[in-house]
Amino acid sequence: MSLSIKILGCGSALPTTLRNATAQIIKHNERPYLVDCAESTQVQMRKYSIKFAAINHIFISHLHGDHFYGIFGLLSSFSLMGRTGEIYLHCPEKLQQMLESQYSPLDVNELGFKLIFVPLIPNEVNLTYENKNLEVYSVPLKHRIPTWGFIFKEKIKERNIIKEVIPKYNLSIAEIVKIKNGCELMLENGTIIPNSELTTDPPHPKSYAFITDTVKLNSVAEAVKGVDVLYHEATYDSSLTERAKETFHTTTIQAAEIAKTAGVGKLIIGHFSSRYHSTEELEKQAQTVFPNTVCAEDGMEINI
């Protein structure tokens, strides 16, 4: 199984010639999920050859324009391209009201496809989507308005049975299923064969966390504990801690402290203020606390 992240935009508030505002494509087993949708997101999707028709689930963190203004144009483009398949919007409740207001003069059904709204739950980590291989959790953050992050986690697979043991012990299908689920095998003479001699470990389940606009939260460190890759906003450098506090954002050092506390594999910092033309110093600051840190760039792809 594969899990990858494509950064479509890593700037905050004001888009610049260097950075679009926030949007990412999370791709699991070649199935893409869109996380946030700033203006020009669909232009970025075309630039980086993202297949529009393959997107069925969109996750919106909060209702500040630099995270969702692109959704109106994107849905209209889906309609113009003749889409008929439904779209699931995992989003704050108010977005449903906004979209229904936007499209009601023409009748929302004229989009040609159904919008299914999945409201994000406040105050607790909550499972917002799952299929047979993947779970996506929403994580409450602390910003000026209700805001959530998202964690993408592969489900733990069954153990891999060693092929040679099947004929050796003449295993039935029912026995194979039990063994793959971790059971031991009892022979007719009462001998117990431990599961470790019958199976090998399944692949490590991959995980990714997207944490955007927020102050530094210990609850986030707990929620993202041990993920392979953490994207955490770092709007400001460490000299602007008070400014970050006033605006409910995070600094480079604070993001790195979250990554260190959570024991993540890799940290990507992003959501940079437009005041930074270069992110070199931001990266260096974070690396003093968490060495395996890189700065996001538009077009960057991370394979887990």
Task: Specify whether 213 is catalytic.
Answer: no
Q: Active site residue: 66, 213, 228, 237, which one? A: 66
Per the CB < 8 A criterion, the answer to whether 222 and 244 are in contact is: no
116 CA to centre of own chain = 19
Closest CA to 216 of 286, 129, 274, 168: 286
Report the phi/psi class of residue 36: left, alpha or beta, with left for phi > 0 and alpha for psi in -120 to 50: left
**Of residues 230, 279, 281, the one with CA closest to residue 24:** 230
Q: What are phi and psi of 215, to 5 degrees?
A: -75, 170
What is the distance between the alpha carbons of residues 204 and 280, in angstroms, rounded to a whole number? 32
Show the tokens assigned to 103.
């499209």
Residues belonging to the active site: 66
